[in-house]
Structure 1
Amino acid sequence: MHIGYAEDNIDGMPKALRNLLWPFILLLAGAVAASYLCPAESALVAERIIGYPGSVVPAYELRPWLIGIVCFVPFITSVIYRCSGTLDRYTIRVFLNAFAICFGALFIVMFLEDIQDNLSDFKESPRMWELLAKHYLVKLPALLVFILPYSLMLSLLWALGKMSKSQEIVAMIQTGRSVTRIVAPLIGFGLLTSIVCLIFNYHWAPYADSQEKSILEAAKGIAQTEAKHVAYQNSDNTRQWYVGSIPFDHSQGAPLQSVSISVLDDKKSLRQRIIADTATWSLDDRKWTLTKPVVFDFSTEGETVTQYESPLVYDWPETPFQIIKPGLKPPFLGIPGLTSWLANHRDHPLSDQRSYLTHWHYRFAHPFISLITILLAAPLGIVFNRRGLGGGVAVAIFLCAGMIFCSTVFPTLGESGHLSPFIAAWATNFLFTFVALILFYRRITGQPIYQTVKSWFSR
């Protein structure tokens, strides 16, 4: 009885209570993070909806909920881990040790490379540390989405290769477990990382890509611009805008630069053209103020030109958000932005909807690369002889390079119209999932993989 009590009461804490300690800590940390991040995200969404009257509101309102899910992912993972069996927990621990090293190493390498490229720009700013922190905080989701597949591949090959070399995989098989059952917890981890990448890809990773340039411009003392040379026409085609430069903080009242507005009559004939140095939109009264405007009036009696020294105020319903949207590139828009653009600008004469639709599908397809990486690397990491691991690593690197190539080429073909947007976005996933299933079949049936691939290239 004394021995049993000692096993269940280590360090004065019962085993059942100790097992609940980490999940409770992660639950508390997730709740604190969600209580801060979700209201802040809701405020940003509310401001965005006001500025974009034609937005697909439910797509934007989903953002705070997704932030909340990310906050509780560590807690959910810890509960799943505690509910797993002994062998599954051991496999996960071996894998997570390798994953922590690989992910940390790649993250540090990417961070040092980026800071080496940009540190000189940040040094030019008196707000160096503020902009530096903002830059990497905003960039974090995009960086995570980028390095996760590589980290998963390297750590899985390392962990499974180590377990194969020590005959632990063979021992598990002898207990009656199949290869698929052995790697099931790792596939589950790949699915979890794919869900996290999908959440980041929903808005925050594309947003990070769009903001990187503006933050660097701020560090150099250059006026931050979100878009340049933007053309826009309102829904009833009575006004056509051309804006030379739209500042990053236009939603806070920063003026649009070098504005030209063509006003059309009911017959779509040019009635008036207004050229102004700046155009400022007020969020309070929803009115436009044009500075130093020059007004060209076209009538049957002839053309008249009037230059005003004082600003002119107009109550046009357009907002800066609406004007800028056709000028935003698809790679910089998340799913809410792409959904709203497709709902309002499918027939816009100045933009190609194929590009926006391809990127909309790609936002959903790309995160599952993490899961496919697990499916590819798992059968290559499990070997039953000492010579097999090096060949498996070579094949995995070759397949990973092919996946990167295809994930670039297929979307390009979709944007150019050679493939449908859906096929272009999902073709890489379909192709390499099929390859992964073939590799799994050969590993389960005991057929060689590396030797077979090598024989193909030696023919």
Structure 2
Amino acid sequence: MLSIFDRYILKKYLGTFILLLLLFIPIGIIVHLAEKIDKILANEVPFPIVAKYFLDFTIYFADLLFPLFLFLSVIWFTSKLANDTEVVAFLSSGVSYYRFLRPYMIGATIVCLVALASGMYFAPTASKGFNEFKYEYLKKGKQDRDQTNVFRQINENDYIYASYFNVKEKSGNNFTLEHFEGNKMTYKIAASRIVYNSADSTYTLFRYTKRKVGEHDDIIESKERLDTVFDFEMEDLTPVDYIAETLNIVELNKFIAREKARGSSYINRYEVVRYKRWSLPVSAYILTVIAVAVSSVKRRGGMGVNLAIGIAIGMVFIFFDKIFGTMAEQSDFSPFIATWFPNFVFAILAVYLLRNAKR
């Protein structure tokens, strides 16, 4: 059963957090709209599509930066409590510091569960709409989604390679398909160009050559053009960079398993997205403890000093999160360690600050 004090702190915790979101998200929307308004008008994007885009942007933006908003909101209202000597009054009544933290932990649990549900299911849908609008209207004509040196294992026996894939035209250059039975290659298909036909889900191969490996002699078959079918789709071969962000947790797990089997070079990028969906919500607890420990002490400089310390710590947390995430995406560094390391470091900091705040 929650006491009057618990309800009071919990109301402040959730209310200030929501208020901060409502204050900063419109600012983000206005800044973003000011940057993109010329392209939106030039492409004559209908208003309902623009409205949906900014709704997706709001969810995407809130999910991405909620740890910082939460951190600042806790520092803000706890500093105010400290300046009004409410913290001192409560602790002077003989209640332990850990009891003082209880409503904060309840609030962190609520935020963690909401962030977990959002990151697993709601934010991916918003991210898909946000990114599709961006590539359709704001990056029109750019080849950001094209890929080079694409290699995939498409099933147990077949491996394909292309030196270049044009996602917009659904075509590739220097295509090869190698079929293995056990450890022995039985045939190899090569083409200077491959084009995917969306109408009937077929492929057209130009300057087609097929070499069947015989026991004594190879059989070579060649044509200038061949229409055929394969056991893959172009989207499976060239997943866009943001694809992992648009999948809910069930779809993402299946997607990563499939991409691992195909030998994708982007596995670490996808793994970072998956692990962050767990690590960021958990950071609500760690950042809450740090924020309370920093701001529950009444300082000579008032709330400004606490906010300055909080902003500095928040920026360092975001820096750690980004730098280790990038390391995992661009190298063989473990995605699990990269995503959880900031939480580990700041958990140690939280314990240290909490022990000092109790004194």
TM-score by length of 2: 0.80
Equivalent residue in structure 2 for 1:295, among 166, 184, 208: 208
Residue type at the aligned position of 2:171: Q
Q: Are the aligned partners of 1:139 and 1:205 in contact in 2 as well (CA < 8 Å)?
A: no
C-alpha distance 275-173 of structure 1, shift in aligned 2 (>3 A): same
Specify the alignment match of 2:260 in structure 1: 346
1:144 to 62, 87, 108: 62
Give the CA deviation at 1:369. Answer: 2.5
| Larger CA deviation: 151-160 vs 338-347 | 338-347
Q: Specify whether residues 154 and 263 from structure 1 end up closer, same or farther in structure 2 by C-alpha distance, changes over 3 A only.
A: closer
1:111 is matched with: 29
* Aligned-partner SS, 1:290: strand
Question: Which residue is 1:245 aligned to?
Answer: 166
- Alignment partner of 1:369 is 2:283: yes
Indicate conservation of the 8 Å contact 1:411/1:424, yes or no: yes
Q: Identify which range, 367-376 or 93-102, moves more after superposition.
A: 93-102
* Structure-1 residue corresponding to 2:190: 273
Structure 1 residues 259 and 205 mapped into 2: Cα distance closer, same or farther (>3 Å)?
Answer: farther
Output the CA distance in 2 between the equivalents of 1:224 and 1:200: 31
User: Which 5+ residue runs of structure 1 have no aligned equivalent?
Assistant: 1-82, 248-254, 446-459
2:22 matches 1:99: no
> Are the aligned partners of 2:175 and 2:194 in contact in 1 as well (CA < 8 Å)?
no
After superposition, what is the alpha-carbon deviation per residue over 1:288-326, rounded to whole angstroms, capped at 9, x for unaligned? 323585533446565633336xxx353x3324453344x
Q: Is the 1:124–1:220 Cα contact (8 Å) retained in structure 2?
A: no
Runs of 5+ unmatched residues, structure 2? 213-217
In structure 2, distance between residues paired with 1:220 and 1:169 = 50
Q: What amino acid maps onto 1:434 in structure 2?
A: I
Q: Is the 8 A contact 1:214 1:225 kept in 2?
A: no
Structure with greater strand share of residues: 2
Q: 1:256 to 1:203 in 2, by over 3 A?
A: farther
For 1:272 and 1:364, locate their aligned partners in 2 and report how far apart those are by CA, in whole Å: 43
User: What percent of counterpart residues are identical?
Assistant: 18
Asked if residue 381 in structure 1 is aligned to residue 295 in structure 2, the reply is yes
Tell me the SS of whatever aligns to 1:126: coil
> Partner of 2:134 in structure 1?
216
The CA deviation string for residues 94-146 of structure 1, in whole angstroms up to 9 with x for no partner, is 34443343222211221111111112111123333132123123233321123
| Structure holding more helix per residue | 1
- Picking from 234, 244, 267, the partner of 2:154 is 234
CA distance in 2, matches of 1:402, 1:439: 16
Match of 1:134 among 34, 40, 52: 52
SS at the partner of 2:185?
coil
Gap change, CA 1:259 and 1:131, over 3 Å in 2: farther
RMSD of aligned residue pairs (Cα, Å): 3.4
What is the deviation of 1:382? Answer: 1.2
1:250-300 deviations in whole A, cap 9, x for unaligned?
xxxxx8334765344554265433466631357xxxx63235855334465
- Identify the residue that residue 31 of structure 1 maps to in structure 2: none
Instruction: Tell me the equivalent position of 1:438.
Output: 352
Secondary structure, counterpart of 1:161 in structure 2: helix
Q: In structure 1, how many angstroms separate the alpha carbons of the residues matched to 2:185 and 2:300?
A: 77
Could you tell me how far 1:426 is from its partner in structure 2? Answer: 0.9
Structure index of larger Rg: 1
User: Are 2:318 and 1:422 equivalent residues in the alignment?
Assistant: no
> Equivalent residue of 1:235, what SS?
coil
Given that 1:358 and 1:415 are in contact with CA atoms closer than 8 Å, whether structure 2 keeps it comes out as: yes
Amino acid at match of 1:430: F
CA contact (8 A) 2:76 2:307 kept: no
Name the SS for the 2:95 alignment partner.
coil
Separation in structure 2 between the aligned mates of residue 238 and residue 276 of structure 1, nearest angstrom: 18
Distance 1:157 1:127 in 2: 41
Aligned residues: 347
Higher RCO, 1 or 2 (CA under 8 Å, sep at least 6)?
2
Please give the per-residue CA displacement for 1:302-355, whole angstroms capped at 9, x wherever unaligned. Answer: 5633336xxx353x3324453344x64676365445422442343644515444
CA distance in 2, matches of 1:411, 1:330: 17
